[in-house]
Amino acid sequence: MRPTNAQRATCRILVADDESLIRLDLKEMLTHLGYDVVAEVGDGAAAIELSRKLKPDLVIMDIKMPEVDGIAAAEILTREQIAPVVLLTAYSDQALVERARDAGVVGYVVKPFREAELMPVIELSLTRFAEFTALRKEVGDLRDALETRKVVERAKGVLMEVHGLPEADAFRRIRKTSMDSRKSMKEVAEAILLTYEMDISTAPSGETTDGM
């Protein structure tokens, strides 16, 4: 379900990019979509400082910035549980993607971007951050939560592929199974992956598996 204008207006976003023109374009697009841009900054250190002060609902920042880069800033904001981070990037480097994932980044916007691309990324990123917050409450340790998220993301992908579930429903199924079985979400996710892999290895060629 698409968010209403009122719901978007309550989403407070901080924008960080060292290029003033990109900051201006991004602010105009976000404002036009109904979001509340609470601050704009030009480097990672300022993004961290203002995020601590303003407590935005989301931070959108460039991956390459002076002082502190976007990934390092995202790691700090994630560790301190301040806000989810969406990275702006013109790079497809797998090493950067892995580093960003390990830092807790929840979404990406690829430059050059269009206004129509922003809302789906923002809403999905907010959902993923809520999921990660639930995982962190269960696991406790940040590093363990990040590792658990990787397993849960893979299991969600299986449920989405096999059962045609939306991403949020796939997470809810894992969480409900975890609560019903009194097992951790990581254990449930690992069971889903194991079942899927066993089904794939034993299913006749061309036959679809049911998963879990």
Q: How confident is the model at residue 212 (pLDDT cuts 50, 70, 90)?
A: low
Tokens 């036009």 belong to which residue?
32
Whether residue 50 is predicted with pLDDT greater than 80 in this model: the reply is yes
Which of the listed residues 68, 103, 128 is the one where a domain comes to its end? 128
Per-residue pLDDT at 73 = 95
Contact 160, 166 (CB under 8 A): yes
Same domain membership, residue 153 and residue 105: no
Whole-number Cα distances in Å, 86 to 78, 128, 141? 11, 11, 22
Cβ atoms of 90 and 110 within 8 Å: the answer is: yes
**Which residue has tokens 């790691």?**
75
Query: Could you tell me if residue 135 is inside a domain?
Result: no
Q: Which residue has the higher pLDDT, 19 or 134?
A: 19
194: CATH: 1.10.10.10
Q: pTM score, two decimals? A: 0.69
Highest mean pLDDT among 5-14, 132-141, 154-163, 202-211: 154-163
Residues spanned by the domain of 23: 5-128
pLDDT, the chain, mean: 85
Of 153, 88, 103, which Cα lies nearest the Cα of 127? Answer: 153
Residue 110: inside a domain, yes or no? yes
pLDDT tens digits for 98-115?
A: 888 888 888 989 888 999
Instruction: Report cis status (omega within 30 of 0) of the bond before 112.
Output: yes
Mean pLDDT lowest among 36-40, 44-48, 134-138: 134-138
Using the predicted structure, report yes or no on whether residue 204 has a pLDDT greater than 90.
Answer: no
The pLDDT of residue 60 is above 90: yes
| pLDDT tens-digit series, residues 137-146 | 777 776 777 7
Structural domain contains residue 158 = yes
Q: Sheet containing 12-16: give its strands across.
A: 36-41, 12-16, 58-62, 85-89, 107-110
Farthest-apart Cα atoms in the chain, separation: 58
SS3 182: coil
Q: Is the pLDDT of residue 198 over 90?
A: no
**Which of 67, 96, 128 is the endpoint of a domain?**
128
CB atoms within 10 A of CB 49: 12
Q: Which of 99, 128, 157 is the last residue of a domain?
A: 128
